[in-house]
């Protein structure tokens, strides 16, 4: 058996006994070389309590072959620390920090093992928000600006500490964890699948469909059920609707932040049409209740298909006009061009994912590289931009809206109404002692859910990764050496989730 068990995003769950248990030294040496290649990035990396210690699982994604590499190791971590991978490949930082926080694992030569989210079951209870180890720089010319954790408006809590030289930002540190709700524990505590679905929908309020799809996929893989074509089409329509709605909202929010009223109101109006379409379909503007494991409560009827088709065509046409105006607006371009640069190399190093990575010319798009459901059929071509700035991130969004509208149209024409879609099954028999993962490209980026079942077929461990976990560091890098007043537009251009990160 090699170092990894090789699988992909479309097969069923992996039996735990099929996952090799390797020596950490071998894995470390392999990853040291392997991760230098841009085709690999970390999907998930976490530890599970077993008898007498911890077992570590690592999911590695190969973007070239669509393979997912899974491996595990059981170190004697009390004897010695583990050599830190973050020191060589910074993209491991949130995972190693999380494990250090939860279990006190001393990763040797890790640059900075500060807490990730202050989980209530963390090892060191004396480490709290109030003793957060903020980075400081000494200097008479410098001043610190602390923003948050409570913000104006509807923003979630999170503390931003800027170290500035006049108006210029030298360093931004982002401290999160204020939103920690114990989602992962909650997913395990209650084995009611419907309840788990509802929790999954609430992991990040703006990615309800994305996280619910990831959960449904995990359960279906464990149950050994393959979603039918009609069900996959429905899920694709739902997730692309969400993508359109959020990209529209962010276009509007970016316009708001530079005080550009016309684009703001145009995008707000279009977003309302989009989320009302969701509501007319399933009764919820954010697409909650569309995605259910092993079936659906809202099969599309001929009238609903016509309604979605009409609305989305309308949104697409009107948004395209807005898009063309945006690309010609000098005062807007003056703000967004060359602002908040995150070069491609930097994106690779921090493990950036999703549309932010694509705006820096880095192809991280699960729809292309690790397709699931109906995406395997459509041969998705990702939108890639190479300017690496705020405008580039906006342009990615704008192009993706048009692309998503086309996909919805395509899916609707493939869909035969009144086809029998089974009702959701909340009590499927799950494979015993298996690991199941799902990779879903939400509007923000890569969502990865992993579940491990026990000998009774209950979910014993549930791990969630929102794309924000990777990308928050990207925001911190983007504002370096920018004016502090340009932080808001950079923040909006990423639009990351606080609660998705804090869980």
Nearest approach, Cβ of 329 to another protein (angstroms)? 7
Beta bridge mates, 285: none
What is d(CA 440, CA 139) in angstroms, rounded to the nearest whole number?
46
What would the x/- binding string for another protein be over residues 478 to 497, using CB under 8 A? -----xxxxxx---------
Considering the complex, state which of residue 186 and residue 268 has its C-beta at the smaller distance from another protein: 268
Per the CB < 8 A criterion, the answer to whether 216 and 234 are in contact is no
The pair of structure tokens assigned to 73 is 């190791």
Q: Distances from the Cα of 293 to the Cαs of 212, 290, 429, in angstroms?
A: 9, 10, 12
What is d(CA 495, CA 247) in angstroms, rounded to the nearest whole number?
10
Nearest approach, Cβ of 259 to another protein (angstroms)? 4
> Which segment (16-24, 277-285, 331-339, 357-365) binds another protein by CB under 8 A?
331-339
Handedness of CA 88, 90, 92, 98 (dihedral sign): positive
Applying CB under 8 A, does 152 fall inside the site for another protein?
yes
471 CB neighbour count, 10 Å cutoff: 29
Q: Distances from the Cα of 406 to the Cαs of 100, 237, 305, 412, in angstroms?
A: 45, 10, 14, 10
Beta bridge mates, 72: 21, 57
Q: Is 51 exposed, middle or buried (0-12, 13-18, 19+ CB in 10 A)?
A: exposed
Alpha-helical regions (H) of 354-389: 354-359, 366-369, 375-378
* Residues numbered 425-484 forming contacts with another protein, rule: CB under 8 A: 483-484
Using the rule CB under 8 A, which residue among 29, 65, 146, 456 binds another protein? 146
> Which segment (129-137, 329-337, 420-428, 469-477) binds another protein by CB under 8 A?
329-337
Per the CB < 8 A criterion, the answer to whether 366 and 446 are in contact is yes
Considering the complex, state which of residue 219 and residue 478 has its C-beta at the smaller distance from another protein: 478
The pair of structure tokens assigned to 40 is 């690999």
Considering the complex, state which of residue 50 and residue 153 has its C-beta at the smaller distance from another protein: 153
Radius of gyration of the chain (CA): 22
Nearest approach, Cβ of 246 to another protein (angstroms)? 20
Segments of 347-422 assigned E as strands: none
SS3 category, 107: strand
- Counting Cα atoms < 13 Å in the Cβ hemisphere of 198 gives 6
Applying CB under 8 A, does 140 fall inside the site for another protein?
no
The pair of structure tokens assigned to 68 is 């997912």
Nearest approach, Cβ of 324 to another protein (angstroms)? 16
Quickly list DSSP for 249-269. HHHHHHHHHTT-HHHHHHHHH
* Residues numbered 223-282 forming contacts with another protein, rule: CB under 8 A: 255-262, 265
Nearest approach, Cβ of 68 to another protein (angstroms)? 41
Among residues 497, 479, 384, which one has the least CA distance to residue 443? Answer: 497
Applying CB under 8 A, does 153 fall inside the site for another protein?
yes
The pair of structure tokens assigned to 420 is 């029998």
Considering the complex, state which of residue 160 and residue 443 has its C-beta at the smaller distance from another protein: 160
Among residues 147, 157, 355, which one has the least CA distance to residue 250? Answer: 355
Using the rule CB under 8 A, which residue among 21, 145, 302, 306 binds another protein? 145
Applying CB under 8 A, does 419 fall inside the site for another protein?
no
Nearest approach, Cβ of 321 to another protein (angstroms)? 14
Applying CB under 8 A, does 394 fall inside the site for another protein?
no
Considering the complex, state which of residue 126 and residue 261 has its C-beta at the smaller distance from another protein: 261
Considering the complex, state which of residue 148 and residue 467 has its C-beta at the smaller distance from another protein: 148
Applying CB under 8 A, does 144 fall inside the site for another protein?
yes
Considering the complex, state which of residue 166 and residue 182 has its C-beta at the smaller distance from another protein: 166
Considering the complex, state which of residue 147 and residue 435 has its C-beta at the smaller distance from another protein: 147
Using the rule CB under 8 A, which residue among 18, 108, 121, 167 binds another protein? 167
Q: Please tell me the count of residues contacting another protein according to CB under 8 A.
A: 29
What is d(CA 280, CA 237) in angstroms, rounded to the nearest whole number?
14
> Which segment (193-201, 290-298, 333-341, 453-461) binds another protein by CB under 8 A?
333-341
Nearest approach, Cβ of 265 to another protein (angstroms)? 4
Considering the complex, state which of residue 147 and residue 503 has its C-beta at the smaller distance from another protein: 147
Applying CB under 8 A, does 332 fall inside the site for another protein?
yes
* Residues numbered 1-40 forming contacts with another protein, rule: CB under 8 A: none
Considering the complex, state which of residue 300 and residue 332 has its C-beta at the smaller distance from another protein: 332
Cα 502–chain centre separation: 12
Applying CB under 8 A, does 131 fall inside the site for another protein?
no
Nearest approach, Cβ of 145 to another protein (angstroms)? 4
Using the rule CB under 8 A, which residue among 329, 343, 376, 425 binds another protein? 329
Applying CB under 8 A, does 50 fall inside the site for another protein?
no
- Give 199's contacts (C-beta < 8 A, 6+ positions apart): 183, 186, 187
Per the CB < 8 A criterion, the answer to whether 298 and 289 are in contact is yes
Applying CB under 8 A, does 143 fall inside the site for another protein?
yes
Applying CB under 8 A, does 324 fall inside the site for another protein?
no
Using the rule CB under 8 A, which residue among 334, 345, 418, 429 binds another protein? 334
- Give 36's contacts (C-beta < 8 A, 6+ positions apart): 89
The pair of structure tokens assigned to 177 is 């964890």
Residues in contact with another protein by the rule CB under 8 A: 143-147, 152-153, 167, 255-262, 265, 329, 331-332, 334-335, 339, 483-488
């Amino acid at each position: 058996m090699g170092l990894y068990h090789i699988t992909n995003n479309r097969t069923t769950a992996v039996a735990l006994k099929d996952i090799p248990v390797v020596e950490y030294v071998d894995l470390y040496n392999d990853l040291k070389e392997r991760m230098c290649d841009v085709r690999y990035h970390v999907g998930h990396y976490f530890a599970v309590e077993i008898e007498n210690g911890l077992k570590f699982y690592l999911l590695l994604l190969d973007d070239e072959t669509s393979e997912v590499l899974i491996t595990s190791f059981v170190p004697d971590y009390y004897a010695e620390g583990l050599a830190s991978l973050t020191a060589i490949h910074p993209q491991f930082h949130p995972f190693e920090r999380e494990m250090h926080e939860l279990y006190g694992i001393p990763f040797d030569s890790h640059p900075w093992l500060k807490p990730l989210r202050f989980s209530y079951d963390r090892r060191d209870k004396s480490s709290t928000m109030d003793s957060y180890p903020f980075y400081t720089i000494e200097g008479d010319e410098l001043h610190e600006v602390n923003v948050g954790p409570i913000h104006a408006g509807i923003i979630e809590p999170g503390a931003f500490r800027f170290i500035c030289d006049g108006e210029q930002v030298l360093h931004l540190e982002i401290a999160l964890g204020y939103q920690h709700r114990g989602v992962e524990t909650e997913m395990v505590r209650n084995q009611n699948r419907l309840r788990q679905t509802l929790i999954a929908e609430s992991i990040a309020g703006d990615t309800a469909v994305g996280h619910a799809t990831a959960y449904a996929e995990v359960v279906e893989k464990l149950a050994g059920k393959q979603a039918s074509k009609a069900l996959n089409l429905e899920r694709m329509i739902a997730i692309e609707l969400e993508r359109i709605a959020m990209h529209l909202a962010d276009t509007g929010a970016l316009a708001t932040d530079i005080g550009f009223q016309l684009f703001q109101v145009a995008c707000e109006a279009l977003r309302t049409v989009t989320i009302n379409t969701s509501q007319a379909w399933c009764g919820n503007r954010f697409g909650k209740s569309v995605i259910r494991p092993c079936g659906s409560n809202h099969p599309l009827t001929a009238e609903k298909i016509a309604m979605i088709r009409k609305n989305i065509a309308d949104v697409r046409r009107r948004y395209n006009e807005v898009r063309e105006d945006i690309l010609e607006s000098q005062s807007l371009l003056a703000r967004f061009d060359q602002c908040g640069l995150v070069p491609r190399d930097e994106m690779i190093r921090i493990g950036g994912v999703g549309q932010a990575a694509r705006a820096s010319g880095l192809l991280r798009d699960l729809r292309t590289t690790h397709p699931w459901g109906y995406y395997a059929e459509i041969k998705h071509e990702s939108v890639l931009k190479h300017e690496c700035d705020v405008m580039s991130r906006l342009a990615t969004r704008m192009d993706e809206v048009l692309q998503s509208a086309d996909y919805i149209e395509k899916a609707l024409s493939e869909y035969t109404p009144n086809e029998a879609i089974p009702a959701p099954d909340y009590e499927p028999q799950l494979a015993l002692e298996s690991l199941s993962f799902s990779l879903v490209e939400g509007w923000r980026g890569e969502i990865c859910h992993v579940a491990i079942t026990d000998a009774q077929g209950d979910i014993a461990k549930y791990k969630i990764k929102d794309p924000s976990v990777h990308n928050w560091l990207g925001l911190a890098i983007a504002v370096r050496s920018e004016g502090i007043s340009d932080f808001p537009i950079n923040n909006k251009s990423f639009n990351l989730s606080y609660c998705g990160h804090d869980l």
